[in-house]
Amino acid sequence: MRSFSEFDPVAVTVWFFAVIGVAMFCGHPLIMAVSLAGAVLFFAVRNGTRHGRSHLFFALLFAVLTLANPLISHNGATVLFVLNDRPVTLEALLYGVNSAAMIVGVLYWFRSFTQIMTSEKILCVAGTLSPKLALVLSMALRAVPMFARRARQVSEAQKAMGLYSEDNIIDDVRGRMRVFSIISTWALENGIITADSMSARGYGTGRRTQLRRFRFTAADGVFTAITLGLLGVVAAAVATDSLAFEFYPRIDISVTGALGICGVIAYGALVLLPVFIETEVSLRWKYLQSKV
């Protein structure tokens, strides 16, 4: 009984890239609606009623993006009204809604991605592709908080020495420039020390091994196969223009034949896969608790 976040990082990454990739590169309104609804549902299933400010921010962003397009672009044949001698068209308004749905949906997906994919999981995926890439990423992830902590120490030491005695902008800028200079010098010196230490420990002299805390199981393989299969159906529908859609000069919707319908259904199933998993795990857990 595993939740979606407990699947192998490679399987989870493949699913996220499939969902986000289709949402970014297929502009059909049905796909955008499924992506946005699925992203909000998945985020709500994982977080419950928390993150109300995030939902409010995304709602405001959706409204701004929707209204921005018809005010900037005046293409389209169906004029709704004229504002400052410039026509506001139905096509431009609907294109704004579609673009806003795509952007907000992708932001929701990335928000869920950052919650599930920790730095350790990202390094695991990078290590699968290239051990050297994983090493560079691990060093970069380590360096950011280390440099921030070092900069804070230097700043506090300078305050204790009385170098921020004058309360004005010029003194503050000079102080921050001193901190930046010190941190830059320390970073270069730390890089040299790290390289010498790795060389002394024999890095690059033999075959490297990789520690994997995550195990790619049969369930991960089945999940990845289902993801790629559904993605293949959607890709086939997009490649054959079965999910073509035109906003300008007039709205021209086209879901051609069975392949286009199957593409929309396949993407809906792809989006809802983790929701099904999370719901099944929750129901099974409640059932087991009722048996205690």
Per residue in 168-203, pLDDT tens?
A: 777 777 778 888 888 888 888 888 888 888 788 777
% residues pLDDT > 70 (the chain): 94
Quick one: pLDDT at residue 93? 86
Entry pTM:
0.75
More confident residue, 181 or 158: 181
Which amino acid appears at position 168 of this protein?
N
Return mean pLDDT, the chain. Answer: 83
Confidence category of residue 164, pLDDT binned at 50, 70, 90: low
Using CA atoms, how far apart are residues 75 and 125, in angstroms rounded to an integer? 44
CB 41 within 8 A of CB 274: no
Q: Of 216-220, 238-242, 282-286, give the lowest mean pLDDT range.
A: 282-286
Q: Where are the domains of the chain?
A: 4-123+215-291, 131-200
CA angle 254, 260, 261 (to 5 degrees): 110
Using CA atoms, how far apart are residues 187 and 204, in angstroms rounded to an integer? 23
Quick one: pLDDT at residue 106? 93
Taking the chain, what is the end-to-end CA distance rounded to the nearest angstrom? 17
CA distances from 97 to 12, 33, 210, 238, 290 (A): 29, 10, 47, 21, 45
Using CA atoms, how far apart are residues 164 and 180, in angstroms rounded to an integer? 15
More confident residue, 39 or 252: 39
Across the range 267-279, mean pLDDT stands at 90
Confidence category of residue 148, pLDDT binned at 50, 70, 90: confident
Using CA atoms, how far apart are residues 179 and 152, in angstroms rounded to an integer? 9
